[in-house]
């Protein structure tokens, strides 16, 4: 029974499991960092969170890449899976579970699931016909061909047939259409029409769920001349890692159905049609939401392993700070479009929002508390009318951010937080604390102004912490906030910081970068 043992509400969030066919890049980082920010936010709200990621290690591509590298497929994927893990550690990704599809428990579960669907009569043996490239031993559909030739090697293809297992899709078509049209499962909604027009309305074709052209996969349990189609193997990770159809874990009842699958747009069809069909075939509840974001492009093209235009997150994180990179990619990705990454826009975002707006607010405020009050504010304060707008904005902020996180519109959530940060900087100009400081009779007013600024930093830093988990605790220490003052319960309540708080001025949180100089150096690194 859900939540019997643990009365906390649960939240299950997943990244795609990535192909370990090349090194991870900033595109993989985007989805993983976005999920991490949401997972951390949900934990902050008090949810019992399961956040999963992993690697999708079977298939012909991997088999081929391993051969090129002179390794066995397993040696090859071991090396790259380690790189993904190292990157996630570097990027402060707080995943709870990392699944590899070569894990024994997963392979066994995939076989069990395949057998279950077969026993229910939804899988049958048939014949797959298509275009075949003999040297590559690969089948292609006509639409995959380039100029009528093999898209891999450019050689001639021939008509060929092979025996294969198929999964019936018709029994699930009506329910899938309802899922897409009558619920808000697929976000952004714009993608729904794409799925309806391109796949569902023309009639769903049965899905080929086995291959005999390569060996690197999970064998079909009752016919080991076939391996299970890599997408059936991959998609089921979302339930096998909870323990479904295997004895490795025991969290299926606790966390399924999933609250949020996050992917980019190119794999929406797999997650909005094929995945629900597999679940329906197994009589399992459907996940609650699929958010498919756009791409990080570079020079107008999708950043990807095969295009070679990859930006190395290790280099960027080391030079500019992991939190800054996390912030920039989440802030600049629109809800439904793509975003074109440039080093210039990344640096100017860091300079303007983090160094100038947030960093400056913290350093100016703590410096003034130190200078005018020897670091500890007096308890007596005088409120003025001009404070109200700032107080209202900051007190109402967490409700807005909560709603945007649920959408999930992370860029918009960050923009809301930074509206309040900017308003606080404007408030400094309006209240001119340096003038108040010259007048002994205005000390209580000055204390109120500085307290209000510290409160804004307390509230915004709490909401920013899931996005920038390394730097925000440092900011919180600098303003003297701790314990319950930083709890979710208090993030929407004004005045929770102790009135006689003591600040601890510290290092600059976000240094400013000289954009031109950095571009020069980054270009040198690239070459």
Binding string, residues 55-74; x marks residues near ligand ME8 by CB under 6 A: -x------------------
Part in contact with ligand ME8 (CB under 6 A); list of ranges 116-124, 160-168, 243-251, 298-306: 298-306
Angle separating helix axes 515-526 and 313-320, nearest 10 degrees: 150
Verify binding: residue 38, ligand ME8, rule CB under 6 A. no
Q: Which is nearer to ligand ME8, 90 or 270 (CB)?
A: 270
With CB under 6 A as the contact rule, the residue among 11, 12, 13, 17 that binds ligand ME8 is 17
The residue whose two tokens read 């996005």 is: 467
Q: Which is nearer to ligand ME8, 17 or 209 (CB)?
A: 17
| Helices marked H in 214-283 | 230-235, 237-240, 252-255, 268-269, 275-281
The residue whose two tokens read 């559909």 is: 141
Part in contact with ligand ME8 (CB under 6 A); list of ranges 17-25, 182-190, 417-425, 463-471: 17-25
Binding string, residues 18-37; x marks residues near ligand ME8 by CB under 6 A: xx-------xx-xx------
Bridge partners for 290 per DSSP: 186, 261
Nearest-approach distance from CB 357 to ligand ME8, in angstroms: 26
| Helices marked H in 123-189 | 170-182
Q: Rounded CA gap, 425 and 435, in Å? A: 16
Binding string, residues 263-282; x marks residues near ligand ME8 by CB under 6 A: xx--x---------------
Strands 186-187 and 290-293: parallel
With CB under 6 A as the contact rule, the residue among 113, 117, 234, 456 that binds ligand ME8 is 234
Q: Is 15 helix (H, G, I), strand (E, B) or coil?
A: strand
Part in contact with ligand ME8 (CB under 6 A); list of ranges 14-22, 91-99, 173-181, 503-511: 14-22
Part in contact with ligand ME8 (CB under 6 A); list of ranges 231-239, 371-379, 414-422, 507-515: 231-239
Nearest-approach distance from CB 309 to ligand ME8, in angstroms: 9
Chain position whose Cβ is nearest to ligand ME8: 27
Verify binding: residue 295, ligand ME8, rule CB under 6 A. yes
Strands 123-133 and 158-167: antiparallel
Verify binding: residue 287, ligand ME8, rule CB under 6 A. no
Nearest-approach distance from CB 12 to ligand ME8, in angstroms: 15
H and E: helices and strands count for the chain: 21, 16
- The beta-strand segments (E) located in 248-312 are 260-264, 290-293, 296-298, 301-302
Q: Considering only CA atoms, which of 208, 207, 229 is closest in space to residue 218?
A: 229
Part in contact with ligand ME8 (CB under 6 A); list of ranges 13-21, 187-195, 432-440, 510-518: 13-21
Q: Rounded CA gap, 346 and 328, in Å? A: 6
Count the site residues for ligand ME8 by CB under 6 A: 20
Q: Which two tokens stand for residue 83?
A: 């790189």
Distances (CA, A) of 266 to 194, 253, 367: 11, 30, 49
Interacting residues toward ligand ME8 by CB under 6 A: 16-19, 27-28, 30-31, 56, 234-235, 237, 263-264, 267, 295-296, 302-304
């Amino acid at each position: 029974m859900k939540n019997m043992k643990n009365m906390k509400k649960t939240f299950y969030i997943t990244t795609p499991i990535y192909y370990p066919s090349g090194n991870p890049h900033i595109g993989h980082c985007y989805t993983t960092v976005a999920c991490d920010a949401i997972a951390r936010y949900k934990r902050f709200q008090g949810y019992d969170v399961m956040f999963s990621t992993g690697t999708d290690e079977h298939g012909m591509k991997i088999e081929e890449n391993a051969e090129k590298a002179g390794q066995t497929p397993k040696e090859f994927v071991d090396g790259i899976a380690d790189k993904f893990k190292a990157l996630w550690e570097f990027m402060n990704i707080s995943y709870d579970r990392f699944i590899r599809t070569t894990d024994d428990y997963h392979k066994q579960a995939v076989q069990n699931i395949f057998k279950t669907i077969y026993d229910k009569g939804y899988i049958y043996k048939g014949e797959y016909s298509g275009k075949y490239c003999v040297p590559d031993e690969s089948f292609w559909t006509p639409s995959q061909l380039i100029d009528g030739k093999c898209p891999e090697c450019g050689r001639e293809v021939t008509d060929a047939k092979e025996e294969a297992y198929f999964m019936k899709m018709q029994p699930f078509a009506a329910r899938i259409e309802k899922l897409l049209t009558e619920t808000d499962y697929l976000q952004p909604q714009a993608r729904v029409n794409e799925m309806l027009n391109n796949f569902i309305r023309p009639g769903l074709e049965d899905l080929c769920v086995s291959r005999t052209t390569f060996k690197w996969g999970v064998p079909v349990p009752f016919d080991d001349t076939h391996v299970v189609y890599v997408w059936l193997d991959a998609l089921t990770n979302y339930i096998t890692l909870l323990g479904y159809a295997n004895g490795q874990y025991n969290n299926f009842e606790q966390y399924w159905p999933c609250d949020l699958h996050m992917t980019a747009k190119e794999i929406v069809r797999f997650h909005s049609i094929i995945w629900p069909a597999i679940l329906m075939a197994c009589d399992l509840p459907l996940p609650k939401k699929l958010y498919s974001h756009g791409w990080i492009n570079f020079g107008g093209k999708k950043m990807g392993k095969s295009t070679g235009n990859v930006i190395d997150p290790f280099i960027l994180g080391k030079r500019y700070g992991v939190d800054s990179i996390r912030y920039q990619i989440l802030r600049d990705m629109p809800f439904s479009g793509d975003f074109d990454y440039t080093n210039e826009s990344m640096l100017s975002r860091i300079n303007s929002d983090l160094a100038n707006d947030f960093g400056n607010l913290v350093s100016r405020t703590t410096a003034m508390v130190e200078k005018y009050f020897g670091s500890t504010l007096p308890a007596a304060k005088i409120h003025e009318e001009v404070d109200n707008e700032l107080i209202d904005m900051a007190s109402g902020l967490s409700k807005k951010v909560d709603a945007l996180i649920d959408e999930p519109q992370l860029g918009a959530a960050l923009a809301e937080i930074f509206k309040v940060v900017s308003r606080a900087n404007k408030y400094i100009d309006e209240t001119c604390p340096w003038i108040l400081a010259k007048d002994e009779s205005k000390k209580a007013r000055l204390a109120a102004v500085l307290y209000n600024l510290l409160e804004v930093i307390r509230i915004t830093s709490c909401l920013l912490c899931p996005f920038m988990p390394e730097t925000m605790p440092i900011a919180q220490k600098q303003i003297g906030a701790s314990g319950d003052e930083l709890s979710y319960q208090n993030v929407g309540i004004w005045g929770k910081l102790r009135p006689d708080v003591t600040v601890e001025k510290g290092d600059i949180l976000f240094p400013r970068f000289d954009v031109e100089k950095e571009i020069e150096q980054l270009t040198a690194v690239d070459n």
